[in-house]
Structure 1
Amino acid sequence: MKTIAVFSVKGGVGKTACAVNLAYAAATQSARRTLLWDLDGQGAATFTLRLAAKPGTSARKLFAADAELDALIQPSAYPNLDVLPADKSLRHLDRLIAEDGARSLKKMLKSFDRDYDRVILDCPPGLTELAEQAFRAADLLVVPLLPSPLSERAYDQLVAHLGKHHRKGPALVPVWTMVDRRRALHKATVDAFPDRVAIPYAVEIEAMAVHQAPVAATAPNGLAARGFNKLWAEVEAALR
């Protein structure tokens, strides 16, 4: 089993779109037994796949006690793709991790070893306690970036942080998101790093919340779907 964390220092960069579409590609394109674990209290990945946390459950409590993770996992509408949903209790998870010595994410992931080939973590933004757990647990970190010098600066700071505190940490796969090549800054920034996958600014991605489905399920021949498929191919190659 390999774990891929989708992480960004800041929000609003298409992180959840990346997580959902990578999970879909893993399950369909590669026929991997895939679990998408929504760790963001907003639950956007959960919503996008037409799911919700079960009534009376709390995703936060999974970290605080020996709760059975399997009991909360739900199948999606797509073969090979299951989801561990988020709920608003995760908003206070960092405090729990910092104060109460919660179970480590890495230890929890080991319980999925026999059932899944790939686990995709949709992490909340920011260098938080949960992020540090993800850095220790993941085999690979996918980092969505807006095409701007400030985003590149934030990525360089992340690389420096990992180099200092997680020297044996995950490999990194940066990806440009929301790319509009009609804008000079976007074009110049993306062209400076031609080896990085660039996901276009596309109506299909915005419509994910409307259709509650990955773009490859609703517009499989579109530029956005092809971009996410290309990103998944790069992720798979990096995990070999």
Structure 2
Amino acid sequence: MRSIAIFSLKGGVGKTTAAVNLAHAAATAGGRRTLLWDLDSQAAATLLLRSQPGLRTKARAALAGDQPLAALVEPTQFANLSLLPADRSLRRLEGDLARADRGGVIRRHLKALAPRFDRILIDSPPGRSTLADELFRAVDLLVVPSIPAPLSAAAEAALADELDRLGKAAPPLLLFWNMADRRRLLHRTLLDSHPDRLAIPSAAAVEAMTARQAPLGAFAPQSPVARSFAQLWSAVEMALLKS
């Protein structure tokens, strides 16, 4: 099993839609037994896969070991793709993880889930936090979306500093541009300054995911943005091979 966290220091960069589309690509195009673990208390990934985040308050208790985390895993309508849903109890997770005796909890749960899955993708909440520290030490790869804008460069530099602090314990990093629009001069300038970085185009189809409660590969598989996410998943697999 290999684990991937989709992570960003700032919100509004399309992190959750990227997580859902990458998980679907892993499960369908890749044929992997895939789990999307929603660790964001906003539960947007949970909603996008047609689960009901408001009906349960068990995620925090399961992470604490009060009940088996695996018992919360749900099937989705997509072959090979399962969901570990978020709920409102995760709003208190940071306080739990900050306790000195709770280190390594994410790593332990990943190890317990490993026999059931080939790939576990984690939609993590944005921002610098104790949970982020846990993820950095637990996963095999960090996949980080950025919008082609000046604030992204600052966020990337801050993240690089955090990973440098961890040294060899830090996971490899895969950066990509998200919601890129070449019609905008600033976007075009930054895209051209990083020609080797994969870019996911801005597209109305991504916004339609909420209404359809489905990944792009399920309802617009031939769209440019869906094909771009498929390419991104191929890049993720290549990065895992090198790690």
Tell whether the structures are fold-level matches, with TM greater than 0.5.
Answer: yes
Distance 2:100 2:48 in 1: 32
C-alpha distance in 2, partners of 1:207/1:54?
22
Normalised by the size of structure 2, how large is the TM-score? 0.95
Distance 2:18 2:172 in 1: 17
Q: Is residue 2:164 matched to residue 1:168?
A: no
Q: Find the residue that maps to 2:169 and give its secondary structure.
A: coil
Structure with the largest fraction of helix:
2
Task: After superposing the two structures, state which structure 1 stretch, 37-46 or 157-166, moved more.
Answer: 157-166
Cα separation, partners in 2 of 1:9 and 1:117, compared to 1, 3 Å: same
Shift of 1:66: 4.2
**Pairing 1:9-48 to 2, within 5 Å after superposition:** 9-48=9-48
Q: Secondary structure at the match of 1:42?
A: coil
Q: Find the counterpart in structure 2 of residue 232 from structure 1.
A: 233
* In structure 2, distance between residues paired with 1:182 and 1:236: 30
Distance in 2 separating the partners of 1:90 and 1:23:
21
TM-score between both structures, scaled by the size of structure 1: 0.96
Aligned residue pairs: how many?
Answer: 240
Q: Which amino acid aligns with 1:118?
A: R
Deviation at 1:165, TM superposition (A): 2.4
* Superposition map of 1:1-240 within 5 A: 1-53=1-53, 55-99=55-99, 101-102=101-102, 104-240=105-241
AA aligned to 1:41 is S
Give, as a single letter, the amino acid of the residue that structure 2 aligns with 1:128: S
Q: Is the 1:54–1:72 Cα contact (8 Å) retained in structure 2?
A: no
Identity, in percent, stands at 49
- 1:112: Cα distance to partner? 1.3
Query: Could you give the per-residue CA deviations for residues 144-182 of structure 1, whole angstroms, max 9, x where no partner exists?
Result: 001012201211220121011243211100010111100
Q: Which 10-residue stretch deviates more, 176-185 or 59-68?
A: 59-68
Distance 2:53 2:100 in 1: 24
Amino acid at match of 1:97: L
The one-letter code matched in structure 1 to 2:14 is: G
CA contact (8 A) 1:7 1:122 kept: yes
Please give the per-residue CA displacement for 1:19-62, whole angstroms capped at 9, x wherever unaligned.
Answer: 00000000001000000000000000000000125845411112
Give the whole-Å Cα distance in 2 for the aligned partners of 1:152 and 1:227. 22
Shift of 1:65: 2.3
RMSD of the TM alignment (CA)? 1.4
CA contact (8 A) 2:26 2:119 kept: yes
Q: What CA distance in whole angstroms lies between the structure 2 residues aligned with 1:56 and 1:160?
A: 37
Structure 1 alignment gaps of length 5 or more = none
Distance 2:147 2:125 in 1: 17
Deviation, 1:104, is 0.9
